[in-house]
Chains A and B, each alone.
Chain A
Amino acid sequence: MSYFSDIYKGIKTLLTGMSVTGKYFLTSRKGAITQQYPDNRATLKMFDRFRGEVIMPHNENNEHRCTGCQKCEIICPNGTIEIIWDRGIDEETGKKKKKIDQFVYHLSMCTMCALCIDVCPTDAIIWGQNFENSVYDRTKLTRVLNEPESKLMPGVED
Chain B
Amino acid sequence: MIETIHNWLYSTMPQGVASIVEMILIALAYLGFFAIAGLFLVLMERKVAAWFQLRIGPNRVGFYGSLQTMADALKLLSKELTGTAKADKFLYNLAPYFVIISALMGLAVFPFTKDIQAFDINIGIFFLIAISSIGVIGILLGGWASNNKFALIGAMRSGVQAISYELSIGLSLLTMILITGSLQLSEIVEVQKNGWLIIQGHIPAIIAFMIYMIAGTAETNRAPFDMVEAESELGAGFHTEYSGMKFAYFFLAEFINMFIIAAIATTVFFGAWLSPFGITESIPWLGVFWFLGKTLVLIFLMMWFRWTFPRLRIDQLLTLEWKYLLPINLVNIVIMALIVWLNLTIKF
Contact = CB atoms under 8 A, between A and B. Distances in A.
Given A17-B308, A18-B304, A18-B308, A31 B324 contact: no
B52 A25 contact: yes
B1 interface: no
Contacts of B283: none
A21 B324 contact: no
B307 A34 contact: no
B304 A22 contact: yes
Interface of A is mostly: helix
B50 interface: yes
A93 to B, nearest CB: 59
Contacts of A113: none
Contacts, number: 41
Residue with the highest number of chain A CB atoms closer than 10 Å, among B54, B305, B309: B54
Contacts of B328: 7
Contacts of A25: 48, 51-52, 304
B86 interface: no
A25 B55 CA distance: 10
B84 interface: no
Nearest to B60: A36
B53 interface: yes
Contacts of B344: none
A36 B54 contact: no
B304 A24 contact: no
Interface string A19-51: 011101101110111101000000000000000
Contact of A24 (B53, B305, B309): B53
A24 B56 contact: no
A22 B300 CA distance: 11
A31 B304 contact: no
Contacts of A28: 50-52, 54-55
A28 B54 CA distance: 5
A14 interface: yes
Q: Give the interface residue-count category, chain A.
A: 10 to 19
Interface in B42-70: 48, 50-56
Nearest to A26: B51
A32 B52 contact: no
Nearest to A31: B54
Interface in A28-80: 28-29, 31-34, 36
B28 to A, nearest CB: 37
B252 to A, nearest CB: 25
A155 to B, nearest CB: 47
Residue with the highest number of chain A CB atoms closer than 10 Å, among B48, B304, B328: B304
Interface in B294-348: 304-305, 307-309, 324, 328
A21 B55 contact: no
Contacts of A21: 52, 304, 307-308
Contacts of B51: 24-25, 28-29
B324 A7 contact: yes
A34 B308 CA distance: 19
Contacts of A24: 51-54
A39 to B, nearest CB: 10
Given A7-B324, A25-B48, A32 B308 contact: no
Interface string B186-211: 00000000000000000000000000
Contacts of A34: 50, 54-56
Contacts of B309: 14, 17
A32 B304 contact: no
The 8 A-B residue pairs with the shortest CB-CB distance in the complex, in nearest-first order? A28-B51, A34-B56, A21-B308, A21-B52, A17-B308, A25-B51, A34-B55, A33-B54
Interface of A: 7, 14, 17-18, 20-22, 24-25, 27-29, 31-34, 36
30 contacts: A7-B324, A7-B328, A14-B309, A18-B305, A18-B308, A20-B308, A21-B304, A21-B307, A21-B308, A24-B51, A24-B52, A24-B54, A25-B48, A25-B51, A25-B304, A27-B54, A28-B50, A28-B51, A28-B52, A28-B54, A28-B55, A31-B54, A32-B54, A32-B55, A33-B54, A33-B55, A34-B50, A34-B55, A34-B56, A36-B56
